[in-house]
Structure 1
């Protein structure tokens, strides 16, 4: 039983990382006009929609993808990211269907199904949204066991947002965006090392 739960957690972790990186890279790629790691989505979306006075809307979508991707990548915010990813994937799905992109709706539909699996896994955290019994809803403020880790992860988001929101040479933007990703990896590795040290104490 323990091995099965451990395997499920590993699968959930892989799905979170996979969906998070897909969304984050898609958002950064759009904002950097195709000059980043492109996994899904047309990098020219902003330019095309700008012709119809919808450039700001396209940028909003790209920034939203970055934020949602960040939340999915960071386990501490993964449930929030999975909730926000549902309307994002649904919107992408509708666009691909309306544009008659053959095959793409099935890919996006698979992403959506994977995201729903994440919500099912986190159902215990979300079930209070569905109850009408107020006494069943936890009371009190928000508590975090280690707020420093939250801040370290958020620090990694800053250079990525700077890279896509502030006009600068392309190379500098790419370095900042990659720097944010590397920072997250560093924080994650450091967290694992600290966890192992605590286990062996």
Structure 2
């Protein structure tokens, strides 16, 4: 705990903490209000797309769809209020982890990069407030001393190692998003076909895109057909 308090005394760690809170809150406020207002999230995405099909079905779940939006807005507001930030981060975590896994499962362009970064930002907020929620863990220090007050003195030394790690993580996530999969469904038929232009198996790639965006088949079936067509 002493070491954690030393980190919290650094001005740059604190600024990064505030940035994470604001950006995460903004993302969920926007996404949550779309659901509360009854609009389909990512409405420009075709229902034939794997993520589009999921969002279309989710949009027709009635008050469950609204409930998700309310939960996102509550988590966002809690993140912005110092006294409730820990509760907000705990509420935020299962929602964003679900979005992360979903984005990876359907290879949703954009979200498969932003969602893991949001998970990491949320974990940073939780670690910052570790002294407030550690008591729910079945191990560790059981002291009841909690530091709720914002530290008045800050160390201005820039933590190069930490922010180099943040930058490296950011780059690695983006690189994985670009090169992590041989094929992506992309968000439109045109974009899907563009990834195969001038490459081997262009015909198999075109069939894959048609399978996704024209026939509306499941992603796994289209990937299996693509692999067979390459043989």
TM-score of Structure 1 vs Structure 2, range by shorter chain: 0.5 to 0.7
CA deviation digits over 1:139-174, x for unaligned, max 9?
A: 9xxxx99xxxxxxxxxxxxxxxxxxxxxxxxxxxxx
Larger radius of gyration: 2
**Is 2:113 the counterpart of 1:106?**
yes
**Is 2:16 the counterpart of 1:11?**
yes
Higher helix fraction (1 or 2): 1
- Any idea what SS the aligned residue of 2:127 has? helix
CA deviation digits over 1:84-113, x for unaligned, max 9?
A: 111010111122223321342121000001
CA deviation digits over 1:58-82, x for unaligned, max 9?
A: 1111111011011011121111111
Q: What residue is the counterpart of 2:61 in the other structure? A: 54
1:72-91 aligned at under 5 Å gives the runs 72-91=79-98
Q: What residue is the counterpart of 1:179 in the other structure? A: none
Is this contact kept in 2: 1:79–1:122, CA < 8 A? yes
- Any idea what SS the aligned residue of 1:78 has? helix
Deviation, structure 1 residue 47: 8.0
**Is 2:99 the counterpart of 1:92?**
yes
**Taking CA–CA contacts closer than 8 Å with sequence separation of 6 or more, which of the two structures ends up with the larger relative contact order?**
2
Distance 1:26 1:50, change over 3 A: closer
Name stretches of at least 5 consecutive residues in structure 2 with no aligned partner.
Answer: 1-5, 45-51, 150-231
1:11-160 aligned at under 5 Å gives the runs 11-33=16-38, 42=42, 48-49=56-57, 54-131=61-138, 136=142, 138=144
Q: TM-score, normalised by structure 1?
A: 0.55
The number of aligned residues is 134
Distance 1:2 1:67, change over 3 A: closer
CA distance in 2, matches of 1:57, 1:118: 28
RMSD of the TM alignment (CA)? 3.5
CA distance in 2, matches of 1:58, 1:72: 22
Distance 1:2 1:61, change over 3 A: closer
Distance 1:28 1:117, change over 3 A: same
1:156-171 aligned at under 5 Å gives the runs none
Q: TM-score, normalised by structure 2?
A: 0.49
- Any idea what SS the aligned residue of 2:10 has? helix
Deviation, structure 1 residue 138: 3.6
CA distance in 2, matches of 1:3, 1:108: 25
Distance 1:30 1:2, change over 3 A: closer
Name stretches of at least 5 consecutive residues in structure 1 with no aligned partner.
Answer: 36-40, 146-201
